[in-house]
Amino acid sequence: MTTGSLPPKAKLTIGFAHAAYQLGARFALRNTGLDSFEVRNFVALEERIGEADVLVVSGMWQNALLAKAPRLRFVQSISAGVNQYDQTMFRAKGVRLASAQGVNEVAVAEHAMALMLGLRRQLHIARDN
């Protein structure tokens, strides 16, 4: 395996790390045949990061995890921002990083418009009455 490349499907392991989202459970419903694990806190992530070729993560990421992740080749941040990821370290280690930038832009814009219309029509007063 060359630096930055993923192992064959039969040897690929995906880690899902989020305190609340059921990412691993939802992935399992797809019956992909890929190995995966799910963790709910940083301690568990720190213990299992070495098993992951791919990691889907958000708020519990810490750059020190890279040193404990010899197999890691790809990180999918489920947040739009990637400021917490040391991109220089990622490049040096050959780990690709992707963000979820733009995923919710239409929903957020629609929600903002709905809130403005609701305030204009004073729906909060109607609700309280």
Assign 108 a pLDDT band (cuts: 50, 70, 90).
confident
**How far is C-alpha 112 from the geometric centre of its chain's CA atoms?**
24
Query: For all residues of the chain together, what is the average pLDDT?
Result: 92
Question: For 14, which DSSP code?
Answer: E
Is residue 33 one of the residues assigned to a domain? Answer: yes
Is residue 4 one of the residues assigned to a domain? Answer: no
Is residue 2 one of the residues assigned to a domain? Answer: no
- pLDDT at residue 102, rounded to an integer: 79
Contact 14, 54 (CB under 8 A): yes
Whether residues 35 and 49 fall in one domain:
yes
Predicted confidence (pLDDT) per residue in 27-58, tens digit = 999 999 999 999 999 999 999 999 999 999 98
Most confident of 12-16, 57-61, 123-127: 12-16
Whether residues 120 and 68 fall in one domain:
no
Q: How many domains does the structure of the chain reveal?
A: 2
Is residue 64 one of the residues assigned to a domain? Answer: yes
Is residue 76 one of the residues assigned to a domain? Answer: yes
Which residue would you say has higher pLDDT here, 2 or 57? 57
Whether residues 30 and 45 fall in one domain:
yes
Query: Does residue 1 register a pLDDT over 50?
Result: no
- pLDDT at residue 100, rounded to an integer: 86
Q: Can you tell me the mean pLDDT for 89-116? A: 91
CATH code of residue 15: 3.40.50.720
| Alpha carbons 77 and 75: distance in angstroms, whole number | 6
> Which of 83, 80, 64, 60 lies closest to 72 in space, CA to CA?
64
| Alpha carbons 66 and 57: distance in angstroms, whole number | 13
Give the domain extent around 113: 104-129
Tell me the two tokens of residue 70: 């010899």
Predicted confidence (pLDDT) per residue in 62-94, tens digit = 999 999 999 999 999 998 888 899 999 999 999
Is residue 1 one of the residues assigned to a domain? Answer: no
Whether residues 118 and 89 fall in one domain:
no
Is residue 3 one of the residues assigned to a domain? Answer: no
Whether residues 31 and 72 fall in one domain:
yes
Whether residues 43 and 91 fall in one domain:
yes
Query: Does residue 3 register a pLDDT over 80?
Result: no
